[in-house]
Amino acid sequence: MKSTLLSLLAALFTLSLNAQTMNTALLSKECKSGVVYISGEANLGTGFLVSEEGHIVTNYHVIEDELYSMEIEFPDGSIYDEYRIVSTDEEHDLALIKVRNFKRNRHTVLSILATNNAADGTEAATIGHPQGSKWSITKGIVSKAIIREDLDYIAQIDVPVNPGNSGGPLFNKNGLVIGVVAARIEKEHIYARDIQNMNLAINAKQLRSFLKGRVRYKTTPPISNQDLTTAVRQLSKEEEEAAKAANLASIEEKKKAEAELIRTSKETQQKLLEEQAKAEKDRILREKELEQQKIENKKWEEQLNAQQRRKLQEQEFQDRMERQKVEAQLERQRIENQREYETLELEQAKFRLKQAKLQQIKDRKNYYASLDGRFGIRLGAGIIYPLGAIEQFSTNQLDEKPLSWQSSASFTYRFDIKNNRATAFGLFGDFGSLNAMAINQIQQQQQLVGIDQRSTNFFYECEAGFLVREWLRLSAGAGKQELYQANYKQTEVYGTGTIGFIMRFGLVELDWNNSIYYGGVFEKPALSSQLSLLLHFKVAKF
């Protein structure tokens, strides 16, 4: 019974101590649904809901490299990947996002501290996703509301944070947002001095300034002081009976103790009186000794003349001033050293943040540099060999005499630049000249009459088609062939179709194309084969 009563009293004492302090379980219950998980291809971070229209606040560095490739997840599992960037403030590391097709009344809109900043020493907590551990809560205090005068928007906190907490809300005990978690300060290398619990957050004043005119935010605290006061519960009937029995037992023990005290008081009373008499005698003796000492001191002081006393006083004053001067100098030096140390730590933090951003920019440039261009340009020249009409084709008739020259150019558009062998749509152009032997062969096979045998007979061809995985060309189009009849130039239009094979060696390509000609001067469909050497350029990586 006695142990039960003591347990009840201890519980009541603990409840009274916990009244009106931060309750992280209650804070998580009231505010967790307003905290979001932001993930992209390279970054992850935290954000929080500030309006019923779906406005979300986070750090600028969380979305800097993920402007159009993020997913925003709420604790109930709902995910949004359609949004727009409302506003950004790179200098103060803040960003405002608005989710599209936002479902109202399903998530808690967090309230923001209405005036000023949280005071030094204020209890604080944050909900975030450190290292991807979703919706974790950590607790600490606001170490310094403004870390330095020239950085009046940054607060120093000792709330534990890690990568993934960036952009998360910093709460006070009433669930009001008093800051936005921004960074943590780490030592530069393994041999440097440890830095513990020195983390940074954007304070409430800067947050309100950023949201002003953009979002109508809430300031009503979701947790009242009355909610934080834990009520003591009523005792059950069995506990009341146990308490009564324990009270009766306590009364009995007191009675026994009083009886024992009465019994022993008579024995000790005499001793106590004797000790009191002795103490009184000693007191009187000490008073006499002190009085005698005072008299002797007074005589000694009277023997000292005014000049000696003045010298002693001057010396004491000089000594006191010297001590104060030394102490003031030491205090100034200590303050100066502390300022230098804080300045150095802050500059190191800024340098690390700058290095991190530069590394991110470098990584992004390297990523784009690794991609192929979306547009391809090919320029080159080669030889063309007319194989003749299909119905008269025979390998026994092949010789090098009809061999002529041509130049080639093409322009292609790739649908996928992440794949080095993606299919592309292209326009292909050829310009060249058939020699007299090639014209003579066409005249004979196509039964043309009166064609001049000139050494230069220009032709032009343009086709459209596809480059399948950068090695197979399938295209079709039209061409023009210049012919001379009695020194009079005629231009014949004909249709073309091409199957080609491509071998790539870096910027250089070797193309082997086989074409069929029909219509116009080629009443009988004819074949030709071309071998070209081209330079290949790729541009426009987007």
CB count in 10 Å sphere of residue 157: 29
Place of tokens 């409840």: 15
Nearest to residue 513, comparing CAs of 446, 469, 467, 482?
467
Q: List, for residues 251-275, the tens digit of each pLDDT value.
A: 777 677 767 766 776 677 777 778 8
State whether the Cα torsion 18-21-25-29 is positive or negative: positive
Q: List, for residues 451-508, the tens digit of each pLDDT value.
A: 888 888 899 999 999 998 888 999 999 999 988 888 888 888 999 999 999 998 888 9
- At the topology level, CATH places domain 375-539 in Porin (2.40.160)
**Alpha helices (H) along 181-236:** 204-211, 225-228
Average pLDDT value for residue range 410-431: 84
Residues with Cβ within 8 Å of 131's Cβ and at least 6 positions away in sequence, in order, are 162, 163, 164
Residues with Cβ within 8 Å of 85's Cβ and at least 6 positions away in sequence, in order, are 63, 67, 95, 96, 97
Q: List, for residues 23-51, the tens digit of each pLDDT value.
A: 999 999 999 999 999 998 878 999 999 99
131: left (phi over 0), alpha (psi -120 to 50) or beta: left
pTM (two decimals): 0.43
Q: Of 277 and 418, which is predicted with more confidence? A: 277
What secondary structure does DSSP assign to 457-511, as a single string? Answer: EEEEEEEEEEEETTTEEEEEEEEEEEEEETTEEEEEEEEEEEEEEEEEETTEEEE
Highest average pLDDT, of 38-42, 297-301, 372-376, 415-419, comes from: 38-42
Residues with Cβ within 8 Å of 446's Cβ and at least 6 positions away in sequence, in order, are 389, 521, 522, 523, 524, 526
Contact indicator for 428, 477 with CB cutoff of 8 Å: yes
Side-chain-side CA neighbours of 498 within 13 Å: the count stands at 30
**Architecture label for domain 20-228:** Beta Barrel (2.40)
Helix, strand, or coil (residue 141) = strand
Distance of CA 294 to the CA centre of its chain: 77
State which H helix or E strand residue 62 sits in.
helix 60-63
State whether the Cα torsion 142-144-145-150 is positive or negative: negative
Mean of per-residue pLDDT scores for the chain: 84
Q: Do the domains 375-539 and 20-228 match in fold?
A: no
Average pLDDT value for residue range 14-31: 74
pLDDT at 156: 94
Whether residue 188 is predicted with pLDDT greater than 70 in this model: the reply is no
Whether residue 10 is predicted with pLDDT greater than 60 in this model: the reply is no
Q: List, for residues 71-124, the tens digit of each pLDDT value.
A: 999 999 999 988 999 999 999 999 999 999 888 778 899 999 998 999 999 999
State which H helix or E strand residue 89 sits in.
strand 83-89
Give domain limits for the chain. 20-228, 375-539
pLDDT at 186: 73
Whether residue 232 is predicted with pLDDT greater than 80 in this model: the reply is no
